[in-house]
Amino acid sequence: MRARGNSKTEADLADSSRQPDHVVQSIKEVVELEHQDEISMTRSDILARAVTNLSGSMPYVWLHVAWFGLWIIVNVGLGVAFDEYPFGLLTTIVSLEAIFLSTFVLINQNRQALLSDKRAKVDMQINLISEREITKLIEMTMQVQKALGIAPHHDAELKEMHKRTQIEPLVAAADSTTEDSTRPERAKRSARRAKE
């Protein structure tokens, strides 16, 4: 029996056969990277993912509805009363379940955050390589234009594009924008605290 994820990936690849070769190759590379990420998962990662997937499903909700309903019926309706109202034992069990579930969710989220960071770094590297390649293409186009004796068109934006992009100023600008956008919220929180 095939896993759901694998059959979907295979269907995507089969459907991609109508795509150009470089697109199909890119899809295969992404699938291979995801497969490598799954291979590198520890047993605890696999368990955390399985528990998180189960607890985030409708069957899990219905299981709890049935469990709580049966618990209440047995203790109140049938008079067995091994856990009388307000159901202290049930509350303890549910609290312990919540503690464990939240831990599994956090483990899964931490793994997803690591994968997202890794992919973001790869994206940034690809973007930088692409930017350098495009800058080189602009330079080559300008050389062809010069070799053909075509008078250059004076375009300030094109001159800027011809320059290599410096990352540090972009990062600084992004950081200052992020800080500026959070300042009004911080000021509101400080004002609320001062009133209290």
Give the containing element (helix H, strand E) for 16: none
Residue 150 resides in a domain? no
Tell whether 148 is covered by a domain. no
C-alpha 118/C-alpha 140 separation (Å) is 33
Output the CA torsion sign for 16, 22, 28, 30: negative
Residue 2 banded pLDDT, cuts 50, 70, 90 = very low
pLDDT of residue 17: 59
166-184 residues labelled b (16+ CB within 10 A) or e (exposed) = eeeeeeeeeeeeeeeeeee
Residue 196 reports pLDDT greater than 80? no
Residue pair 47/59 in contact (Cβ under 8 Å)? The answer is no
Tokens at 110, concatenated: 């931490």
Instruction: Report if residue 106 sits inside a domain.
Output: no
Lowest-confidence segment of 27-31, 58-62, 164-168 by average pLDDT: 164-168
- pLDDT grade for 4, boundaries at 50, 70 and 90: very low
In a domain? residue 2: yes
Residue 66 domain flag:
no
- Does residue 2 or residue 89 have the better pLDDT? 89
Q: Which two tokens stand for residue 176?
A: 């200052």
Please indicate, yes or no, if residue 1 is contained in any of the structural domains. yes
pTM: 0.60
The pLDDT, as a whole number, for residue 186 is 59
Q: Does residue 164 contact residue 132 with C-beta atoms inside 8 Å?
A: yes
Is residue 173, in this structure, part of any structural domain at all? no
Residue 52, pLDDT above cutoff 80: yes
Confidence of residue 55 (pLDDT cuts 50, 70, 90): very high
Does 28 map to a domain?
yes
Q: Residue 153 pLDDT > 80, yes or no?
A: no
pLDDT value at 12 more than 60: no
Domain count, the chain: 1
Retrieve residue 50's tokens.
């399985």
More confident residue, 174 or 91: 91
Which range of residues forms the domain containing residue 31? 1-38
Lowest-pLDDT range, 16-30, 104-118, 137-151? 16-30
CA distance 57 to 36: 26
The chain-wide mean pLDDT, for the chain, equals 81
